[in-house]
Structure 1
Amino acid sequence: MIHLPYEVYKTTGWLAELGVSGMAQFMALGQCINVIGISILEMFYHRFQAVVIFRSKAYLTLPYYVLNIFRFLTFIHLLVFIWGRFDSRVLMLQEKTKQELFRKNPGLPSELGCFTVFIAVMEDAVFITTVSAWGVLVVLGLIVIIGSVAFIMQVLKKANTLSVQTKKMQRMLVFSLIAQVSIHGFMIALPISVQIYEWIFIIYDNNFGTLMLFFVAYHGFFSTCAMIVFTTQIRRKYLEFSRLFCRKDAAPIVLNNQVGASSTNFESAIT
């Protein structure tokens, strides 16, 4: 839950019920987003390795080195998360900023002073390091994705030893990844961009902020739907399983002749 136009993020889930602070949940959410980013980049890099087998030219090693930098910064973010959990100054800055916010806005709900509330503190080294790391990770992720796609398309265009069907399949897999990452990028990058915008300017509509949280929460579901729609093999298997579960069962019907012996067996669908 967010409370615009204030830079406040309030956690209301079961972790809050267990006593986990809002700052810890905010940092953990950021770490989970980083892990999602790594998984996306690993899919693109795996496709890059499958197509671009010979990487003798120096620029073809760019995705490898950039991906390793992304992994390293994700590990640094984890260390920052652990640092923020044990550094008492982080909690002191949180409480000080909340008190200043209540002093400037006496009519704020008292629940915003709860320990499950996280507030943006520009003087906090942990917060600034986290946001800065996110910005760098976004740039690195774009380099890996754009570079991998460009190199794959370049190799497929020049390859003379690959059949037409193989090229078509590889392009289909790349387009499927692009569709998935577009959903991830839109539904994650947009809320982050809105948050940065809200730090500089003012957004009064809290419903808009709730919509941004919906994007973050359900981006994985929509990405999975895109994978099923744009990947031919997965789509076919999905349709086969759907028909299997929707198929009607058949029950045998036995007809007896006049002497009591069964003479005919056939199946009839149960409706």
Structure 2
Amino acid sequence: MLPVVHLPYPLLRATGYLADWGFSGLFQFYFLSALIIQTGCSVMEMFYFRYRASVFDYNEKRFTKFVKSFTLAFRFLTILFPTITFGTFFYSIKLQEEYKKELAMKDPSIPEITCYSSVLVAPFSDSVMISTMVMWLGCIVCTFSVIPSTTIYLNSHLRNTKNMSPGVVRMQKMLLSSLIVQTFVHGIMLGVPNIMFVYTIYFGSDLEVAAYVAFICLTFHGFLSTIAMIIFTKPIQNGILEVFRCSVAKFLSF
């Protein structure tokens, strides 16, 4: 999808294979949004799992209720978002046509407005878009509530714990550091484009370069996260090296 942000509202124009196959811009926008939310949910789940793996008596901690409540809320939003958006898809398509015609009358010099492969994001325009924005903001609140607080809590817990051996503590710190680095990558590559997108929806923007940079970040966040996981997680490094050695040995044996 290519961004076009010179309108009062963000206009996203799909130009890939899905557009060539007849999928609307609204469908691709909902699909991309659902994938981003699912990625955020997976990051939340990793922190929740790391918390339970690091704190043996987590059931007795008050902080567990805090982390668990936001994690469950994010799971609920992950399911609710595609349910509402795709459940009201044909209704939203009709609204999109109305919004595009209205803007096309105001500014007929932009041909992308009436294109079926484009989607116009107009906040507070209808119940579906309002619900979408509320769910999106809810996901952001859950993410920024759990990730920093869990990181601070686990760092303090691992420094003061007496229930683990030094070797186990070092391993837990290494795994936590790897998770923090991956989250930092996700925060930059996903969080910054999301913040830019939300800002553009409410206040408008004509920064085409920033929009392209945001889409590049969305595209490559998974690749950079995988590289960070390999670099900062020693067991994964050892596993990859072992696979590589076995592959080389088999190749040389021929």
TM-score by length of 1: 0.84
Structure 2 residue corresponding to 1:137, chosen from 136, 139, 144? 139
**Cα drift, residue 29 of structure 1:** 1.1
Structure 1 residue corresponding to 2:26, chosen from 18, 23, 44? 23
- What residue number does 2:170 align with? 168
**Cα drift, residue 194 of structure 1:** 1.5
- What residue number does 1:43 align with? 46
Question: How many aligned positions are there?
Answer: 248
Query: 1:1-271 counterparts in 2 under 5 A?
Result: 1-6=2-7, 7-54=10-57, 55-87=59-91, 90-109=92-111, 111-122=112-123, 123-245=125-247, 249=252
- The whole-number CA distance in structure 1 between the counterparts of 2:153 and 2:200 is 37
- What residue number does 1:264 align with? none
* Bigger mean CA offset, 190-199 vs 210-219: 190-199
* Bigger mean CA offset, 191-200 vs 114-123: 191-200
- The whole-number CA distance in structure 2 between the counterparts of 1:203 and 1:103 is 21
- The whole-number CA distance in structure 1 between the counterparts of 2:204 and 2:66 is 39
Q: Higher relative contact order at CA 8 Å, sep ≥6: structure 1 or structure 2?
A: 2
Counterpart amino acid of residue 34 in structure 1: I
* Identical counterparts, % of pairs: 31
Q: Secondary structure at the match of 1:2?
A: strand
Structure 2 contact 190–221 (Cα < 8 Å) conserved:
yes
Structure 1 contact 60–151 (Cα < 8 Å) conserved:
no
Unaligned runs of 5+ in 2: none
Structure 1 contact 28–81 (Cα < 8 Å) conserved:
no
Which of the pair is proportionally richer in helix?
2
- The whole-number CA distance in structure 2 between the counterparts of 1:227 and 1:196 is 29
Structure 2 contact 103–113 (Cα < 8 Å) conserved:
no
Q: 1:26-82 CA distances to partner (integer Å, 9 max, x unpaired)?
A: 111111111111111111111111111213132332111211111112222122112
Task: Quote the RMSD (CA, aligned, Å).
Answer: 2.0
Counterpart amino acid of residue 85 in structure 1: F
Counterpart amino acid of residue 58 in structure 1: R
**Cα drift, residue 200 of structure 1:** 4.2
Q: Secondary structure at the match of 2:12?
A: strand
**Cα drift, residue 108 of structure 1:** 1.2
**Cα drift, residue 137 of structure 1:** 0.8
- The whole-number CA distance in structure 1 between the counterparts of 2:253 and 2:87 is 63
Question: Runs ≥4 in structure 1, deviation > 6 angstroms?
Answer: none
**Cα drift, residue 187 of structure 1:** 0.8
- The whole-number CA distance in structure 2 between the counterparts of 1:23 and 1:244 is 47
**Cα drift, residue 246 of structure 1:** 5.5
TM-score by length of 2: 0.89
